[in-house]
Structure 1
Amino acid sequence: MLWARRRQPDDMIYGVALAHERFSPNDLLRQATEAEQAGFDLVCCSDHLAPWWEPGDPAPAHCANPWVWLGAAGQVTSRVSLGPAVTSISHRYNPVVVAQQVATMEAMYPGRAFLGAGSGEAMNEVPAGMDWPSPAEQLARTEEALTIIRRLLDGETVTFEGRWFRTVGARLYEVPDRRPPIFLSAFGEQAAEIAGRHADGVWTLADPSSAPAVIAGYRRSCEREGREPGEIVLQGITAVDDTDDAAMDGAKEWKAILVKDHYRDDIHDPATIQRNGRSDVSDTKFKAMGLFSSDPKDHVRKIKALRELGATAIVLMNVSGTNPQGTLRTYGESVLPALRGET
């Protein structure tokens, strides 16, 4: 079983994603402990160099190093699976270092580590010196890096001469007994096919308009490779507050994550990114894509609908700027028990 908390092969996994862009690392450590107490099965975190907005416009901004934070999160929790959602493997992180980082997490917290990987965004890679590539090059870089990471985690000594990455006798000297599972972020079918070839599952947006094609592409790729499909992780956004409007209003800075151009094109200025979110994403669209409600039953209903898309795991980013702890408590008291049939 890939997740630490799965009890039966068909159990649905519920996770929470914590936002380095919005909260300080110490705030997020408190959220991690509260998420475990609430009964979430996994805790993951965003991996950004830059936030989706300028500090103070419209919200506070942070962006601590996720790998340092994950090591600390393992100390303040005891059972949840832990990993990034997701780490870019196209430029900012060398794949050898990524493999070493996740292997170290697994050595420290056996059975709990995983790697969520992706091709990144210009907002995080261009400031680190990358000339932002075409989507085709992004995918090619991702596949090369994923090949190296998987082989290293399998205990191989890797000499690799690719177009984008090169290794010479690279190996890990701290190889955990359990290879941490790798999940690849995919917004389209081509990335989903790479996941089918190299990863242990696919991680995509909880968007009913796009998720079915991604899932189908992943499953086709697994079939061609003679592999059993792994995890299908759908990630959405959630907030709970005193009223439905308050829940959404306290999270509007996150509209920018729904602009597809931010993942494909060289758009790396946070102020521009936030303006695009405001102009391109209506309140109606934002509300439809998120779980914003004061009523736990609304959250349960929407999550059950997401399960029907074929998910084996559902991860919800806590985007509540005004009530993050209350959101986690509501899930622990009412939402997760109802989803698991405990109430």
Structure 2
Amino acid sequence: MHEQYHPRGLLEQAVAGEQAGFDGIACSDHFQPWWEPGHSGQAWIWLGAAAQATEHVPVGPAVTVALKRYHPALVAQGFATLEAMYPGRVFVGLGSGESLNESPFGLDWPPRDFQLAALEEACGLIRRLWDGERVDHDGRFFKTKRAYLHTRPDRPPPLYVSAFHPGAAKVAGRYGDGLWTMADPDSGPKLIEMYREAAREAGRSPGTIVLEAGFSWAPDDADALAAARVWKGAVPDEFYTDDWFDPQAMYERGEEEVSDEDFKQRSIISADPDEHVARIKELEQLGGGDDVVVKLSNQSGPNALEAIRIYGERVLPKLRD
């Protein structure tokens, strides 16, 4: 995740992750981190480097946003280009965003209904451009004049729509090749069912379910928790809906609202690889089907590369059994 690691360190993790046997490489896409001090490398540039540094794993953003700082046509062009360069190795996670990405540009942060409507319009516009249309579009949120992608891949990359709320889950059903959501046993099953129902209502077959969870490994439990605690700054729901964009204020709010015990329930934090295996298997059951992928965010801090090695030797083999 770009917030916790320098881009060069993330590139080392990508190479190590492929060698360890992970099935894909994803990175966050934020203009600022959730806390101070942190990192904030530009995701799209890094993904090109990651695709070049690895050999076969798919790469993509987790997730990018087409709202104000990124126009949907630019998103469509960027990931069509990446897929054209690395055929069959690109996916796109697309969400409704957070204020920490938009407000630093002097852009107003919109209310939730605006975010969802803009997400739906963006999905439709991206699809049309990927399909090879020359698009004149005069929408509520976005405009194009004879926009056309002159370089397109043989097939568009899969589009996974991020949803933490029912409205976004329905957008995912109508436009996405899959749903991207948090691995939350309380909200996850309901959002997944809403996504699948919306897909069927739109005459589409439901696709892959991507369940995201953070993990932290260290030689002892206390160090594993200490490495990941900064991620409390990304937990409060209001950071995804309201106009929060100051990293230090967000971190302090997360520390106030989220106890260590609650945080450990939300993530996989342990020195015991078998506990990681057990928790991931539990998460796989949330989707209720064979089309479930668990996306793991490495929050192990200084132990990041060693955590990847441990996963390759003692976690991933047991998940494939």
Q: Same fold (TM over 0.5)?
A: yes
User: What is the CA-CA distance between 1:179 and the residue it aligns to?
Assistant: 1.1
Corresponding residue number in structure 2 for 1:99: 76
What CA deviation, in whole Å up to 9, does each residue of 1:285-315 have, x standing for no partner?
Answer: 0011111111111001000000111161110
In the TM superposition, residue 322 of structure 1 has moved relative to its aligned partner by 2.2
- Describe the superposition over 1:70-91 as per-residue Cα deviations: whole angstroms up to 9, x where unpaired: 1111111011111000001111
Structure 2 match to 1:340: 320
Where structure 2 has 5 or more consecutive residues not aligned to the other structure, the ranges are none
What are the residue-to-residue correspondences of 1:28-47 with 2, within 5 Å? Answer: 28-47=10-29
Say which SS state the counterpart of residue 309 (structure 1) adopts. helix
Structure 1 equivalent of residue 110 of structure 2 = 133
Q: What whole-Å deviation, never above 9, does each CA across 1:38-96 have from its counterpart, x for those lacking one?
A: 101110000010001111xxxxx111111111111111101111100000111111111
In the TM superposition, what is the alpha-carbon distance from 1:98 to its structure 2 partner?
Answer: 0.6
For 1:313 and 1:154, locate their aligned partners in 2 and report how far apart those are by CA, in whole Å: 26
- Post-superposition Cα deviations, 1:233-257, rounded to whole Å, max 9, x if no partner, equal 0000001101112111111000122
Counterparts of 1:54 and 1:249 in 2: how far apart (Å)? 16
> Does residue 170 of structure 2 align to residue 188 of structure 1?
no
Listed as ranges, the matches of 1:233-272 within 5 Å are 233-272=210-249
Equivalents in 2 of 1:308, 1:89: separation in Å? 31
Letter paired with 1:53: W
Q: CA deviation at 1:317?
A: 0.3
Q: Distance in 2 between matches of 1:153 and 1:295?
A: 44
Tell me which of 200, 204, 223 is aligned to 2:200: 223
Find out whether 1:52 has 2:34 as its counterpart: yes
Deviation beyond 6 Å, 4+ runs, structure 1: none
Query: Partner of 2:251: helix, strand, or coil?
Result: helix
1:113 Cα deviation from its structure 2 partner: 0.6
Q: 1:232 aligns with which of 209, 221, 246?
A: 209
Distance 2:132 2:18 in 1: 31
Residue equivalent to 1:279: 256
Structure 1 residue 22 displacement after superposition: 1.3
Q: Which residue of 2 aligns with 1:109?
A: 86
CA deviation after TM superposition for structure 1 residue 129, in Å: 2.3
* Partner SS for 2:200: helix
Q: Secondary structure at the match of 2:105?
A: coil
% same residue: 49
Q: Give the alignment's Cα RMSD to 1 decimal.
A: 0.8
Counterpart for residue 308 of structure 2: 328
Using the alignment, how far apart are the partners of 2:73 and 2:143 within structure 1?
Answer: 10
Match of 2:98 in 1: 121
* Structure 1 Cα separation of the partners of residues 297 and 207 of structure 2: 22
Whether contact under 8 Å (1:267, 1:273) holds in the other structure is: yes
CA distance in structure 1 between the aligned counterparts of 2:237 and 2:299, rounded to whole angstroms: 19
Aligned residues between the structures: 318
Structure 1 distance, partners of 2:235, 2:276, is 20
Distance across 2 between alignment mates of 1:212 and 1:312 = 12
What is the aligned partner in structure 1 of residue 296 from structure 2?
316
What displacement does 1:226 show? 1.1
| Letter of the structure 2 residue corresponding to residue 316 of structure 1 | L
* Structure 1 stretch displaced more, 302-311 or 179-188: 302-311
CA distance in 2, matches of 1:129, 1:39: 42
Select 1:301's aligned residue among 278, 300, 303: 278
Question: 1:62-73, aligned counterparts within 5 Å?
Answer: 62-73=39-50
Instruction: Give deviations 1:99-144, integer Å, cap 9, x for gaps.
Output: 1110111111110011111111001111122211110000011111
Q: Does 1:22 pair with 2:18?
A: no
**Alpha-carbon distance in 2 for matches of 1:178, 1:123:** 33
CA displacement at 1:280 relative to structure 2: 0.3
SS in 2 for 1:50: coil
Secondary structure in 1 aligned to 2:210?
strand
- Contact between 1:206 and 1:306, CA under 8 Å: does it hold in 2? yes
Shift of 1:321: 1.1
AA at the equivalent of 2:59: L
Q: Secondary structure at the match of 2:301?
A: coil
Instruction: Please list every run of 5 or more consecutive structure 1 residues that lacks an aligned counterpart in the other structure.
Output: 1-18, 56-60
